[in-house]
Amino acid sequence: MNQRSIAILLVSIATLIYGVTFTIAKDVMPLYVKPFGFILIRVFGATAIFWFIGLFVKKEKIEKADYKKILLAAVFGIALNMLAFFKGLSMTTPISASVMMVTSPIMVLLFSSFILKERIVKRKIIGVVMGLLGTIILITYGNNSDDTASNSTLGNFLVFVNAASYGLYLVLVKNLISKYSPITFIKWFYLFGLILVLPFGWTEISEISWGTMPISILLKVGFVVVFTTCLTYLFNLYGLSKLKPTTVSVFIYLQPVIATIFALSVGSDTLSTTKLFATGIIFLGVYLVTKQAENSTK
């Protein structure tokens, strides 16, 4: 198997992990672990793992001015991003949450226009409008009578905030990632993130009854820390080193498909006409945005 095939395989595995995480994390929250407490566990675990790996990697000196940039990236890439996502997921359904995540490429386009001053052509504008229209429909009318969705409207909105925050993070770290090695950047990135989420998750961590928690739930918590947080980053990193960014980004569109199949198979979510309609509009909007970007690249 050549390097390209290995890269595609690893990125596919990362996408599969992301897809099933929507349901796995939903099983843990909020019954056993509240959202902010779960985030603190996730970030603490990832920080420990990446700093441990950093012991075996050549040390790099980070410029003082870049510490502020990494801190800002941690605000949007970890604190606001993860806190909004897990809180929103605890209130909505796995399928709705996975669809909202697909709006990230649209938000990247908008932030790139404002921050990096990249020009937006007419076709991209239409795509943005359609994507946001589908998002509004899902947020407003995608309520589910299922017990797993305590407040779908607010939950869907928070997942959208997460997608927007993640999109801004991708724009902010564009130069930092190319300046430092991945491990050097990510260990400081997660350390700052840990400091930021600590005040939010500390109380909820103290409320966890570890002794009465089923082994299956403990395994799911471990899955999110090791696989969703750490392995996916490393797999996507290898993929980016061997494949074009546009090739890797296409895999995000598989997440709702995987999330839907897994959620329906375990009975944690249901489909509705509103969800299907809103999903179709969002995907069409993202298609118009990314299709034009690929043509421009060519």
- Type of residue at 51: W
Which residues, in sequence order, are CB contacts of 99 under 8 Å at separation 6+?
138, 256, 275, 278, 279, 282
- The DSSP code for 272 is -
Distance of CA 161 to the CA centre of its chain: 11
pLDDT at 253: 64
pLDDT, position 230 = 86
> CA-to-CA distance for 148 and 279, rounded, in angstroms?
20
**Angular region, 90: left φ>0, alpha ψ -120 to 50, beta rest:** alpha
Report how far apart, in Å, the C-alpha atoms of 13 and of each of 127, 198, 233, 252 are: 29, 30, 11, 12
pLDDT along the chain (298 residues), means of 10: 82 85 85 91 94 90 91 91 86 75 70 69 74 70 54 82 81 76 88 95 90 92 91 77 61 69 72 74 70 48
What region, left, alpha or beta, does residue 214 occupy, with left being phi > 0 and alpha being psi -120 to 50 degrees?
A: beta
Dist. CA 140–CA 296, nearest whole Å? 34
Q: Which of 234, 207, 167 is nearest to 36 (CA)?
A: 207
Domain boundaries, the chain: 3-297
